[in-house]
Each structure stands twice: as C-alpha cells, then as structure tokens.
Amino acid sequence: MFFYGFMQRAFQASFFISLIAPMLGLFLILRRQSLMADTLSHVSLAGVALGMLIGTDPTITNIFVVVLIAVALEYLRMLYRSYSEISIAILMSTGMAVALVLMGLNDGGATLSMNQFLFGSIVTINQQQVLMLAILTVIIGSLYVLFRKPMYVLTFDEDTAFTAGLPIKWMSILFNILTGVTIAVVMPIVGALLVSAILILPAAISMRLSKSFNGVIFIGMIIALTGMLSGLVASYEYGTPPGASITLIFIFIFALTVIGKKITLRFKQNQFSKS
Amino acid sequence: MQYIRVNDLAFHYENEPVLENISFEVNPGDFVMLTGENGAAKTTLLRNILGLLKPTKGTVSLSSKNRKGKKLVVGYVPQQVASFNAGFPSTVLELVQSGRFQRGKWFKKLDKHDKEHVRRSLESVGMWDMRHKKIGELSGGQKQRISIARVFATDPNLFVLDEPTTGMDVHSREQFYQLLKHNSEAHGKGILMVTHDHEELRRYADKHIELVRKEGSPWRCFSMDSCKELSKHHSSFH
C-alpha cells in the first residue's frame, strides 16, 4: 500500500495533522472550546456546499466561510461570556442549515462529493492539500514557538492575561481563525463528523499522562501519530472510513490510559500499605 | 503620583446600580484594604479599576508609568483563580515562572535573575519543595499559595488582590501580610486588596475602604463609607 501515490499523500497528511492536532487541541480544551472544532466543521460543510454551488474549489470557499465564522464565534463568546456554549449552538445549527439549503439548491448533484467531506476519504487527498497542510504546520508550529508564553497565560486565566497587557481579543480571534483554517484543510481527509475528535482526543489523552504543558503537547504528538498512522492502515486494509478508524483507535488508547492509570495507582497504594 | 485614581465611580449591571459614589486613590507605597459584606460588589470594583468592566459613570485611571517613569507592572490575583483552573496541565514551577513573562519575557528566555525571583517567591510561601508537582494535585490552600508566589514572582509595582488568602491558615496569612507590608514600605509598591480578614489585616494596611449598602436605595447598591487612614504599624519583617 506504501507504493500507491494516494496512500503516500495520506501518510504525509497524517504526519502533518499529528503535529498540529495536539497544539490546537490543548488550547481548545483549556479554553473550554472543545466543541468549537465541531461547530467549525459543521460550518465547513456550508463552505464546501457553497463552493460546489458556485463551481469553485470547495477548499477555498470553505476557508473563507470558516474564517468568517471563527471571527463571529469570538464575538458571540464575548457576548455570552457566562454561557459560551450558546455561541456554539447558534453557529453549529446555522452552519448545518446553510449547508443543507445550499445542497438543495444544487439539485442534489453534490451528494456524492458531500459524502466524501462528511466521512472523509483517502482518495480525496491531492498534492495541493498536502502542501497546504505542510504550510499550515509550519505556520502553526512557528506561532506556537513564538506565542507559547502569551497563550499559556491566556488559557490559564483571561483576566490575568488582560491585566498583564496581552491583546486577548486579537489573540483569541487569531487562534479561532487558525483552528478554522486547519479544520477546512483537514476535513476532506478525516471527514466533518470526526474532525473535532482528531483535534481534541490526542491532547485529551496526553493531559492524563503529562504534568507539564510542553509535555502534554509532545506526548500528544506521539499519540496523534500512532492513532493517525495505524488508523490509516486499518482504513486501507478493511475499507473503513479513515476518520472513524482513527477516532476508534484514539478511543482505544484513551481506554488503555484510564485502565493503566488505575492499575498504577492501585499498585502504588499496595506498595505504600506494605511499607 | 497615583497608581489608581477612582473618581465618583458608578457601575450598573444592565439598569440596576450596584456601585455608586466611589472615589479613592492608591499611591505608591499605599497598602489599601477593601472590605464589605458578601455581594458588596468588591470584585466588580476591582474589575472596573483593571479595565475589565467599564464604569457607567465617573472615571477610573490606572497609571501607565511607575514612580521611576517606567511602564507600570500590575500583578493581579483573581478570586479563587486556583480552583477555577485546577485541571490546567502545568507544574507549580511552570505556573510561577509564568509570572515573570510580563517583565519583558514574553519572547525571551528567563535568565538567572528571573529564576532566582521564582525560587525566592516559591520559598516565601513554602512551596519550593513542591515545584515539580502538577497544580491539579495540590490542596486548595496550596493552590492559593502558588497564586501568591506567582504574583510575587512578577514583582509588580501595583498588587491588585481579590481575597488571596482564602483557604490559607493563620500562620501563612500573617507571613503573607508581612511580605506585602515589606513590599509597600521598603519598595514603594502600591497594594489594593479585597479581604474578609479585616481584623487581622488592619495591623498591616494603611487605608481601609469599606463598601456599605446605600440606604434608601430600592436596589442592592453599595457605596463607600469612607477611606479611613489606619494607624501606622511597622512590620517586623526584615
């Protein structure tokens, strides 16, 4: 399978996604925005549907729509500060509704392609998307190295960050835009329904394994690589959708982590009671 | 010069007044305690001062410069910040080191001087030995102490503290007050602290502002009783 061009591109894409996912995922979790990725992926469908309707590259319209909504999300988050999930509910349903209406206007001609965006498909990855992912990885990696400290303080407590003189509004908007663009680029590979799982799960698992902030990102990358690559192999071997296969492997790793931690804790308690 | 100048401030939540007729100043070297019953809008007042909320009436000015003419550094400890973000994946050391970032270290490595500050801050609250622990594994009192260590690590010109001693024992509180007193007396730091321990703190603070319920108001609105100068009590901290 490694000799097929589409599989090579899939592995390359998975490698880049594995580097990006824990960086974005950790900040999304800590900012209580885990579901934001889900919202943006639903909105992404509207972007794809719009591209298909007007006959342009869906990835371009998708990025445009998602960036717009990512900014709107920040506005709504500030408006409903105490109930930030309201912004997610409003935009998720709007995104889905717009997607369905646009698909309807397209006389159903886009249904097959839409399925690829919903569930993801290895064959949909082209060289241009791999290149976009590589560029995105460089941008996000550089921004992480540069803004790691301000983002650490921002995610720990926004009021403290504001008092320390950080431009919290612009940082939040930029973060949302980066998340949106990532989702728009990743969606055709893993599928809109599971893109948020791919972003969130590696960081969620590694948060249980590492004490330090950088440790969570590093372990998250290893977990993401393991899940993504083995998920792709499974997807190829059994003909299952890649997003779903990868997600199930992440869930399996998560379960292993929980059980492993329980066993370690019990072992330590036994050692302690013996001594 | 004043670090904080509040002039006839009023703040309304929607159309309901919660604060009215608030005027006071915090100067370099002032140790001001702010008290009031539960729900007296003490935190709301602090958030107005810091620019997190906009006053409905009146003005708040927070100096941009310190007394040496350099950029004013504000150290803020929000109410129960430690319990708010207990699951944060960070060691005690990482969190306290983050207090140094706003001393021009957002994009630079921490140097020896910064690390020494962090060590001293952690030692001052008795948490140096726990520096490699994950913050989520600490007790409520310990979390509060590292929040304090973080603000000491910042070494700000102005401390704005919202009930920072919640969950701390008497001995730790006394030590903390002595440290603050030393900072205001010896280093000219301005301190504005919301507290419920006013009997303990009045031995250290210079001024006492009490928010009291406004009589005759149909709303639960608070106003300043007065800004009382407290008798000077020199700390034993050296």
Spatial separation of the C-alpha atoms in residues B125 and B108, rounded to whole Å: 26
CB-CB contact of A212 with B93 (8 Å): no
Q: For residues A139 and B198, what is the distance between their CA atoms, to the nearest angstrom? A: 51
Q: How many domains does chain A have?
A: 1
Give, for all 275 residues of chain A, the pLDDT tens digit. Answer: 677 888 888 899 999 999 999 999 999 998 888 888 888 888 888 888 888 888 888 888 888 888 888 888 888 877 776 676 777 888 888 888 988 888 888 765 555 567 777 777 766 788 888 999 999 999 999 999 999 999 999 998 889 999 999 999 999 999 989 998 898 888 877 888 788 888 999 999 999 898 888 899 999 999 999 999 999 899 889 988 888 889 999 999 999 999 998 898 888 888 877 76
Nearest to B91 among A162, A165, A211 (CB): A211
Structural domain range at position A133? 5-274
**Which is nearest to A129 in space by CA: A16, A229, A247?**
A16
Distance to chain A for B34, nearest Cα, Å: 19
CB contact under 8 A, B89 and A146: no
For residue A82, the distance in angstroms to the closest alpha carbon of chain B comes to 14
Is A215 near chain B, with CB under 8 Å?
Answer: yes
Sheet holding B190-194, edge to edge: B57-62, B4-13, B16-26, B222-229, B207-213, B31-36, B190-194, B158-162, B74-77
Q: What is the largest CA-CA distance in chain A?
A: 74
Q: Class of B1-72+158-238 per CATH?
A: alpha beta
CA distance A190 to A176: 20
CA distance A231 to chain B (A): 27
Indicate which of A23, A163, A171 best probes the interface with B, i.e. most B CBs within 10 Å of its own CB: A163
Q: Would you call B50 and A164 a contact, using CB atoms and an 8 Å cutoff?
A: no
Residues in chain B with CB shorter than 8 Å from the CB of A31 are none
Under an 8 A CB cutoff, do A212 and B89 touch? yes
ipTM passes above 0.95: no
Q: Which of residues 167-206 of B touch A (CB under 8 A)?
A: none
Q: What's the CATH number where A147 sits?
A: 1.10.3470.10
Domain positions in chain B are 1-72+158-238, 87-156
Residue A149 and residue B88: Cβ atoms within 8 Å? no
